[in-house]
Amino acid sequence: MLQIDRLEVAYGALTVLRDISLTVNNGEIVTVIGANGAGKSTLLKSISGLLPPSGGTIQFDGKEIARTPPHQIVKLGVSQVPEGRQLFAELSVLDNLELGAFSRGGNAAENAKELAHVYDLFPILRERSVQMAGTLSGGEQQMLAIGRALMARPKLLLLDEPSLGLAPMVVRSIFEIIMQLKASDLAILLVEQNARAALSMADRAYVLETGRVVSQGLGKDLLADPQVQRSYLGESIAH
Amino acid sequence: MDVALAMQVLFGGLTTGGIYAMIALGFTLVYRSTTVLNFAHGEFAMMGAFLTITGVTALKLPVLAAFLLAVAVTAVVGVLFERLAVRPVRTQAPFVVILLTLGASTLFRGVAMIIWGKDPLTLAPFSGSTSIFVAGAAIQPQVLWVLGGAIGTVIGLSLFLNKTTYGKALRACSENANAASLVGINVSTMVLISFAISAGIGALAGVLITPITAMEFNGGFALAMKGLTGAIIGGLDRVSGVIFGALALGIIEAFSSVYISSLMKEAVAFVVLILVLMVWPNGVLARKASR
Amino acid sequence: MSGVLDSAIVLGIIRFLAGRHAWMVLFLVAAVIPMVLLGNSYLMSSFAIIAIFSIVVLSLDLVMGYGGLPNFGVNGFFALGAYVMGVLAAKLGIPLALGAGIAVLLNLGVAFLIGVATLRMKHYYFAVASLGLGVIVVQVIGGLPDQTGGWSGLTGIPKVSALGYTLSSDLAFYVVSCAALFISLAAGRNLVGSRFGRAIQAISTDELATEAVGIFVAEHKVKLFMVTSVFGSLAGSLYVLFLRVPTPANFDVPVLVEMTLMLFLGGQRTLWGAIIGSGVMRLLPEVMGGFHDFTTALQGLTLILILLFLPKGLAGKAEEVWKDRLRPRVVVDRYASAQARNGHDASQRFDGRTPGEGPLLEATGLSKRFGGVQAVSELTFSVPRRKIKAIIGPNGAGKTTAFNLLTKVITPDDGYACFNGISLKAYKPHEVSRMGIVRTFQTPRLFSTMSALENVKVGLHTHLKAGIINALVPLAATRREEHDAEERAYALLELTGIAPRAATIADKLPFGERRLLEIARGLAVQPSLILLDEPAAGLNETEKDRLSELLLRLRDAGLTLLLVEHDMRVVMNIADEVLVMNYGQKIADGTPAEIQRNDAVLKAYLGEDTVYAAN
């Protein structure tokens, strides 16, 4: 479904990603883990079109999207839940969700169906529907961000650090929802710092270190791999 | 204090304040979607007025038709201006953008001077010139047109921004352009729309005020300075703040020119502006820090 | 092409132009040409106006170009200079020179007040408020017909006469104006190259980084206003002598717009662009002759085209060609030769200001909330003298916030830090820097338009003395100080290993060298403690090794280092102590070996064991 080949991304003089190749298949959860500054968020931004790559290719459903603007990539079926949620804080919860469906045009019946689906997934959002998004708690905001992305009916969902800044209890429920989404046959590319949780959820995983893929494999294999710990805490780890 | 005179002055102030508010809303609309302060915005008012006059006198159109045509043409000019000039410099330092729009303002004025000359032109009042008396104050019917136009603009714009999908998308863009593009909103289209609406409202303001004050090629710039001052006093990024600031400015100007001195009327606006900004650096009703 | 450029004659010309005083010769030649061509014809009046406008545009360049402040109020200073002197002379018979002096004093006062009043305003707000200043001055002049003649103009200003000679011909005016312009240009050039000039250029590119080297930004902005007001005032006084019957319209907003256009057409940040811009703008209508009506439209179009296609302006473009292609053909590296002569000692110590033992920095209960997020919570730790301490932790753990709290860029909600036993509670960011704490930033924040050497010289700011007067008229002591500063800066570039890049514009340095330059600039402040925010981010392995080696060398020279870093190899190799943060709190503090064995740390980095099975 998603095929990335030898991707290279730079911010001005600073090259952040080098020679990244990665695939996501239908209905799979793939996770990208790695320490801070490894380039995980950059990777998602270049897939969603916010940060056009300086080299390599990104194909979605066989179509090259490396130079496609973000609003068209959404139409193709890739939705990103950005790091830090990035909600429209001064719009209501309902407005945020409706704007999530913007790319699909104005079919009211379709949108209502999708909205009902999101509300079923996140009942708390229904209660909060007239509240301004900025007044929600961190966990609720994360749910709204996921709900907003789902409103576009994506085939592939990009999740950028959904656990960031959330209390452990809330993280747990967010992860449970991600597992539910997977059950509904949505492909998910998950970027996470909480490596153990991410690996235990994922079918396959890639480990990023300073802009390069240093290892990849099945989630459960990497979970036991000392290399993963090393890439977080340095070479000389005593264990 | 003479009540009738005070009423008269108040209506005068509301009239200019209403026009300032319409101009100010145009500033805000573009500012919120692009963070660009368009110093050529006043020229849209001038264009609207001159194009309507041409429509009425040269093309013999009815006022309404000429006016609609003028608003449409001005909106198109606004769109072209955004695409050709503003977009290439949008990401540069704020004052490069200021200068670019100042240059555009000069260009528009220069072209208007070539086409329409240096003398003020005027339009016949839309509903005659028989004054109406309210609480002892004589009100021209055109004043009601201005007030109606201003109120209509505010209501229309609020409905658009709060009730329609495109209006909400516009607000989403001004709040977070990246997130807006991630839900499939084409941000650059939204910017174009905001320029078109802004130019259209500007043109409307110019047409409505012309039967009262006449219009000259420099007239738009003067209006823009006042509209902008009003907008900044209220807080640039908030619709209610902008309207409050513009109306307050119109009323303060009207009273100061009667009760203090009319010679320095133009200075009053800026004295108020500087005093307000010293206390509230982002305007009275601003919601967030300026960029 | 290069054959022509390398011919002896061309090289000779380039060598002459690269000399220190070439601009004076060029100026005199350019100034004489119109006199020779036109004699005492009416056209000389246009040239006199060009010279006078050039002075104002030059001051606009100082404030907008070099200072980066969108100050549209210069026409206010210009008008005050004209009218204060004019009214005093015409109505009260006060001598012109005295009147001009009074105008300068008044302008200085206005500039000070406006400077202070507009300090808190940002960009657009500042631009519009300063535009308002000009409008207010002009409107008040127009609104006081009894005193100023109002909108119809002020009459009765006497002609200038000195030593029995009365200044009246256009040619004489041109000569006087040119002399004034010459002095202004010299003063402007001195200012830009001075300690003050460097500070304002630094402020215009990055206020936060400027404060981080101990420069008080507000003070410099207000002083810059005051300097430009003097230029504007004197030009106004000169202009009014030429006009004889000034009207407020001579100083109104359209004039301001024209001057702004002159600045950008000529090229900002060049000074001499002011003359080019004024010349083109003022001669254009003369050349256009019968097409006067097109002037306004043409001016607007020109400004748009310049901004779109030649953003550096005519002079700016010329300087670029000069610096990139011509001058390199003859210039030798004068920094290196200066160094060879004097051999400044690069092996300085960094603990001279804070001798003693025990922790150099102690943070107690630092806390900060942003909205609903507790970014830093009850953070207590200490940094031992002459050691390297690293702060690590996952994204969003609060590490950079901790830096901002220590340097007072943000104020803690609770808690405080003590440096060398002194509480930092009451200090502002630039004062923290002056006490001996400097920092670098996650993405290097250099003064991008200045050379590497100049960047370091900005860091030396607080250790130099020259004030504005010394800047405008540098005497021997100031020049010696500058020379000395240059050598000290060069020595720091050598210490960090980037001396060969001394003359390179910071923007054009490769990423790794930008990091080193930022450290060199910080060292120029002569700190006892340096805070480094992710110094290894974005570096390749070789560069990381170079960096580690440098940091160890600095520690051995007595410097105390506190760094936030993600690269564990770097941290584990060089740090003496490691502090681990998560969710804004300290979760561990100890030697690298202890940290690597700590269960809480592993959990923070790798997450808790979870119940989700991949299915």
Helix axes C74-92, C96-118, angle to 10 degrees: 150
- Of residues A82, A90, A102, nearest to B184 (C-beta): A102
Distance, C-alpha C8 to centroid of its chain: 38
Kindly report the number of other CB atoms within 10 A of residue C390's CB atom: 25
pLDDT in tens, C464-512: 988 888 888 888 889 899 888 988 899 899 899 998 888 888 988 988 8
Chains that touch B (3 or more CB pairs under 8 A): A, C
User: Considering only alpha carbons, which residue of chain A is nearest residue B189?
Assistant: A71
Counting every residue written for chain B, the total comes to: 291
- How confident is the model over B15-32, as pLDDT tens digits? 999 999 999 999 999 998
User: Of the candidates B165, B171, B175, which has its C-beta nearest A102's C-beta?
Assistant: B165
Within a 10 A sphere around the Cβ of B42, how many other Cβ atoms? 29
pLDDT at B211: 94
A236 and chain C: CB distance < 8 Å anywhere? yes
Which whole number is the average pLDDT over A166-191?
88
**Same fold: C41-329 with C352-436+527-607:** no
ipTM: 0.89
Query: Residue C248 corresponds to which tokens in the numbers above?
Result: 């407020």
Among C236, C240, C178, C154, residue whose Cα is nearest residue C44: C178
Mean per-residue pLDDT for B125-139?
82
Q: Is C599 on the interface with A (CB under 8 A)?
A: no
Whether residue C614 is predicted with pLDDT greater than 50 in this model: the reply is no
* pLDDT value of residue B261: 74
Tens of pLDDT along C573-597?
999 999 998 888 898 999 998 888 8
Q: Indicate the pairing of strand A29-33 with strand A204-209.
A: parallel
pLDDT single digits (tens) C395-432: 778 888 999 999 998 999 999 999 998 999 899 888 99
**Confidence at residue C615, expressed as pLDDT on a 0 to 100 scale:** 36
DSSP letters spanning A88-121:
-TTSBHHHHHHHHTGGG---HHHHHHHHHHHHHH
Look at residues B119, B104, B149, A232 and name the one whose alpha carbon lies nearest to residue C304: B104
Contact between C43 and C50 (Cβ < 8 Å):
no
Three-class SS state of C397: coil
The average confidence (pLDDT) of chain C is 87
The answer to whether the pTM exceeds 0.95 is: no
Instruction: Give A97 to chain B, closest Cα distance, Å.
Output: 10
**Predicted pLDDT at A192:** 87
The residue ranges of DSSP E strands in C164-238, in sequence order, are 165-167
Determine the CATH number of domain C41-329: 1.10.3470
pLDDT of residue A238: 37
For residues C178 and C86, give the distance between their C-alpha atoms in angstroms, rounded to a whole number. 21
- Interface probe for A, chosen from C392, C395, C591 (most Cβ of A below 10 Å), is C395
Nearest CB to B85 within list C120, C293, C304: C304
pLDDT given for residue B36 in this prediction: 86
Locate C167 and state its tokens: 């200044």
What's the Rg (C-alpha) of chain B?
19
Choose the closest CB to B111 out of C121, C128, C297: C297
What does the pLDDT look like over B133-162, one tens digit per residue? Answer: 877 788 888 999 999 999 999 999 999 999
Query: pLDDT digit string (tens) for C112-129?
Result: 998 998 888 877 888 888
At A207, list the tokens: 């480990």
Residues paired with residue A206 on neighbouring β-strands, in sequence order: A32, A216
Q: How many angstroms separate the CA atoms of A52 and A47, rounded?
A: 8
Interchain pair A82, B168: CB under 8 A: no
* All structural domains of chain B with their residue ranges: 3-279
The answer to whether A210 faces chain C, any CB pair under 8 Å, is yes
Three-state secondary-structure class, residue C390: strand
Beta strands in A28-86 (DSSP E): 29-33, 55-60, 63-64, 78-81
pLDDT 10s digits, A4-39: 999 999 887 778 898 999 999 999 999 998 877 778
Q: A79 pairs with which residues across the strands?
A: A157
Q: Do A235 and C572 touch (CB under 8 A)?
A: yes
Q: How confident is the model at residue C344 (pLDDT cuts 50, 70, 90)?
A: low
pLDDT band (50, 70, 90) for residue C43: confident
Chains touching C, CB cut-off 8 Å, 3+ pairs: A, B
What are the structure tokens assigned to B94, written together?
């704020």
Taking contacts as CB-CB distances below 8 angstroms, the residues of chain C near A229 are 602, 606
Q: In the structure, what pLDDT confidence band is assigned to residue C331 with cuts at 50, 70 and 90?
A: low
pLDDT tens sequence across C269-300: 999 999 999 998 888 777 776 667 788 888 88
> Over 60: is that where the pLDDT of C224 sits?
yes
Residue C451 is given by DSSP the state: B
Interior angle at CA B142, CA B141 and CA B146, nearest 5:
125
Mutate to test the interface with B, among A75, A86, A115, A160 (most CBs of B within 10 A): A86
Q: Does the pLDDT value for residue C3 go beyond 80? A: no
pLDDT reported for residue C560: 95
Mean pLDDT of chain B: 89
Q: What is the 3-state secondary structure (H, E, C) of chain B?
A: CCHHHHHHHHHHHHHHHHHHHHHHHHHHHHHHHHCCCCCCHHHHHHHHHHHHHHHHHCCCCCHHHHHHHHHHHHHHHHHHHHHHHHHHHCCCCHHHHHHHHHHHHHHHHHHHHHHHCCCCECCCCECECCCEEECCEEECHHHHHHHHHHHHHHHHHHHHHHHCHHHHHHHHHHHCHHHHHHCCCCHHHHHHHHHHHHHHHHHHHHHHHHHHHCECCCHHHHHHHHHHHHHHHHCCCCHHHHHHHHHHHHHHHHHHHHHCCCCCHHHHHHHHHHHHHHHCCCCCCCCCCCC
**Tens digits of residue pLDDT in A76-109:** 999 999 988 899 998 999 999 999 999 988 778 8
- Cβ contact C303–B106 (<8 Å): yes
Q: Do C127 and B273 touch (CB under 8 A)?
A: no
Q: Is the pLDDT of residue C337 over 70?
A: no
Touching B: C residues 18-77, CB under 8 Å: 64, 68, 70
Report pLDDT for A236: 44
Nearest to B183 by CA among A81, A182, A110: A81
Nearest to C472 by CA among C219, C199, C193: C193
Torsional class of B7: left (φ above 0), alpha (ψ -120 to 50), beta (otherwise): alpha
Return the pLDDT at C102: 97
The span from the CA of C480 to the CA of C305, in Å, is 44
Cβ(C471)–Cβ(C482) below 8 Å: no
> A103: which chain B residues are within 8 Å (Cβ-Cβ)?
183-185
- Give the closest of A164, A197, A237 to C612, CB-based: A197
Rg, chain C, Cα only: 29
Strands (DSSP E) contained in A141-186 are 156-160
Q: Residues B188-212: pLDDT tens digits? A: 999 999 999 999 999 999 999 999 9
Torsion on CA atoms C587, C588, C594, C599, rounded to nearest 10: -10
pLDDT at residue C323 in the model: 79
Q: How confident is the model at residue C599 (pLDDT cuts 50, 70, 90)?
A: confident
Residue that wins the pLDDT comparison between C373 and C390: C390
pLDDT over 80 at C157, yes or no: yes
User: What is d(CA A195, CA A229) in angstroms, rounded to the nearest whole number?
Assistant: 9
Nearest to A91 among B172, B181, B187 (CB): B172
Paired tokens of B199: 């130019």
Query: What's the CATH number for A2-233?
Result: 3.40.50.300
Mean pLDDT of chain A: 89
- Higher pLDDT, residue A15 or C30: C30
Mean pLDDT over residues C38-59, rounded?
Answer: 90
Residue B208 or C6, more confident? B208
- Note whether B179 contacts A86, CB cutoff 8 Å: yes
Which among A192, A194, A219 is the nearest to C614, CB-wise?
Answer: A219
Q: Which CATH architecture has domain C352-436+527-607?
A: 3-Layer(aba) Sandwich (3.40)
Residue C17 scores a pLDDT above 60: yes
> pLDDT value at position C611?
41
Nearest residue of A to residue C515 by CA position?
Answer: A14
Give the largest Cα separation in chain A, rounded: 59
Task: Check B184 against A98: CB less than 8 A apart.
Answer: no
pLDDT-derived band of residue C610, with 50, 70 and 90 as boundaries? very low
| Domain assignments of chain C as residue spans, ordered by start | 41-329, 352-436+527-607
**Coil/strand/helix, residue A177:** helix
Report the topology of domain B3-279.
ABC transporter involved in vitamin B12 uptake, BtuC (1.10.3470)
Q: Terminus-to-terminus CA distance in chain C, angstroms?
A: 70
The pair of three-digit structure tokens given for residue B244, joined into one six-digit string: 């409050």
Distance between CA atoms of residues A132 and A95, nearest Å = 9
Q: pLDDT, tens digit, for every residue of B30-84?
A: 998 888 889 999 999 999 999 999 999 999 999 999 999 999 999 999 999 999 9
Burial of B138 (0-12, 13-18, 19+ CB in 10 A): middle
Chain C partners within 8 Å of A236 (Cβ): 572, 596
Largest CA distance in chain C: 104
Are the Cβ atoms of A235 and C568 closer than 8 angstroms? yes
Q: Is the pLDDT of residue B244 over 60?
A: yes
